[in-house]
Amino acid sequence: MTAVKSSFKSADILAANGAVCVGCRLGGGIVPTLSAEEATGAPPSGVVRADYVKGVGVCFLYTENELYYSTDMRTYIKLFKYNGQPFTVWQTADGVAYAVAVTKGNTAFCDGTKFSDYLSDKNLYCGAVHCGRLFAAEADNRQKLVWSGAGGVRDWEQGIGAGGYLYLDPDRGDMLDILEFGEKLVLVREYGLTVVNMFGSPENFSVSMTDTDTDLIVKNTARAVGGKLYFFTKSGLCSFDGSRVHYVEHAHAEGLTAVGCVAEYAGKYFAVCQSGLLGKKAVFCYDTENACSYFIDVSAEAVCAADGVYAFADGKIYKLVEGGGWTFTSGRIDFGTCKKKTVTEISARGANGVEIICGSLSRVFENIKGPVRPRMRGSCFTVKLTGTGAVLKASVTAEVTIGI
């Protein structure tokens, strides 16, 4: 005759590998972070890029072929149709700071109150203003770095001390983006970074020797955040500390695809993406201060940072704000055995709702005030918690049958 006994085992819900955080992060418990709140405004739909120039207070929105601008993040005015690959810079002329939208053949200038445009025969692909000059990649040869004269975007006179160009070593491929990083310029290329020193007169310009090869980089994903340059390659999130490139390990890397427009705000890196973990579009956030990642639940086309982070989604605008609701989904919990067991209690003080999932079955508890007792039987489980405030601890207890 076989005696049957049982024992009770508990597991830390927050410690299970594979957890997914939406609107929250882990750090001594569940910590609420950011959620999307719809804001007043009427942006165009189909935004592919959003750039806010903080020193001027101007936001440029780019759809597939139209340029819009706003000075209040509410009203968006169409400027013109454009061709080519657009990008945004800023420059100062006659003591006035301008937000500048560079497109093929046409460049828009806005000082926050009035708009003007400048017709040009230049066809540029990406660029940045550095020490008063525009440094850019030619669209027809993206291994050719060109720079303007000291007059900036409108000054393309060639000569000693004026505009010029440099052909790059082809090994890292074409330029995708150009950014200021500290006192240097970083040329983000298809297969790595090239650091250049562009101070003083052009005869002193030089290319640094760096070990910064990577796999294929995703365009429009590079931003300087917290003293490092962050960007995506086809293998995931990377950082550059000024000397070496490092792959960034974080909890939400699995299935992170279609990464697009990015923004930086308050030490955090934001990117629109498609998440395999969520099964939909969302905004990905990497918090450099706490070295962790999470998602914000909004199906965004683009993001930008002004007095906070804004997300644009199908003709609507959202602001990412503290508070609001969050969802935490645990990793797989099996209590250390593949045997059948019965979950008898879930405790998560501070959570508003609990859902326990086993295969295709689930039980939901709402407006909870204390421990819940699901009495669900199975081999392994996932626990989903929802709430608005912090949760310091969360545990699940099961009765495990032992045959002797």
pLDDT in tens, 292-314: 999 999 999 999 999 999 999 99
The DSSP secondary-structure symbol of 65 reads S
What residues contact 233, with CB distance under 8 A and at least 6 apart? 214, 215, 216, 217, 218
The DSSP secondary-structure symbol of 202 reads G
Q: For 148-171, what is the mean pLDDT?
A: 88
pLDDT for position 163: 86
pLDDT for position 5: 76
Contact between 145 and 137 under an 8 Å Cβ cutoff? The reply is: yes
Quote the tokens at residue 196.
């250049």
Q: For 264-287, what is the mean pLDDT?
A: 97
User: Is the pLDDT assigned to residue 371 strictly greater than 70?
Assistant: yes
> How would residue 401 be classed by pLDDT, with cut points 50, 70 and 90?
confident
pLDDT for position 174: 98
For the chain, how many residues are written? 404
Q: Which of 212, 211, 300 is nearest to 263 (CA)?
A: 300
Question: Which pLDDT tens digit goes with each residue over 97-152?
Answer: 999 999 998 999 999 998 898 888 889 999 999 989 999 999 999 999 999 998 88
Instruction: Output the average pLDDT for the chain.
Output: 94
> How would residue 3 be classed by pLDDT, with cut points 50, 70 and 90?
low
Quote the tokens at residue 205.
């310009």
The DSSP secondary-structure symbol of 291 reads T
Question: Which pLDDT tens digit goes with each residue over 169-225?
Answer: 999 999 999 999 988 999 999 999 999 988 766 777 888 878 899 999 999 999 999
pLDDT for position 378: 95
**Integer Cα distance of 394 and 383 in angstroms:** 10
User: Is the pLDDT assigned to residue 1 strictly greater than 60?
Assistant: no
**Integer Cα distance of 335 and 159 in angstroms:** 73
User: Is the pLDDT assigned to residue 2 strictly greater than 60?
Assistant: no
Q: What is this structure's pTM?
A: 0.94
- In three-state form (DSSP H/G/I as H, E/B as E, the rest C), the secondary structure along the chain is CCCEEEEEEEEEHHHCCCCEEECEEECCCEEECEEEEEECCCCCCCCCEEEEECCCCEEEEECCCEEEEECCCCCCEEEEECCCCCEEEEEEECCEEEEEEEECCEEEEECCCCEEEEECCCCEEEEEEECCEEEEEECCEEEEEEECCCCHHHCCCECCCCEEEEECCHHHCCEEEEEEECCEEEEEECCEEEEEECCCCHHHCEECCCECECCCECCCCCEEECCEEEEEECCEEEEECCCEEEECCCCCCCCEECCCCEEEECCEEEEEEEECCCCEEEEEEEECCCCEEEEECCCCCEEEECCCEEEEECCEEEEEEECCCEEEECCCECCCCCCCEEEEEEECCCCCEEEEEECCEEEEEECCCCCECCCEEECCEEEEEEECCCECCCEEEEEEEEEC
The 3-state DSSP class for residue 287 equals strand
pLDDT for position 4: 62
**Distance of alpha carbon 311 from its chain centroid, rounded?**
11
**Integer Cα distance of 236 and 234 in angstroms:** 6
> How would residue 391 be classed by pLDDT, with cut points 50, 70 and 90?
very high
What residues form DSSP beta bridges with 322? Answer: 34
Quote the tokens at residue 165.
């160009």
Quote the tokens at residue 330.
């645990």
The four Cα atoms 273, 218, 307, 286 give a dihedral, to 10 degrees, of 60
Question: Which pLDDT tens digit goes with each residue over 10-59?
Answer: 999 999 999 999 999 999 999 999 999 999 999 999 999 999 999 899 99
> How would residue 403 be classed by pLDDT, with cut points 50, 70 and 90?
low
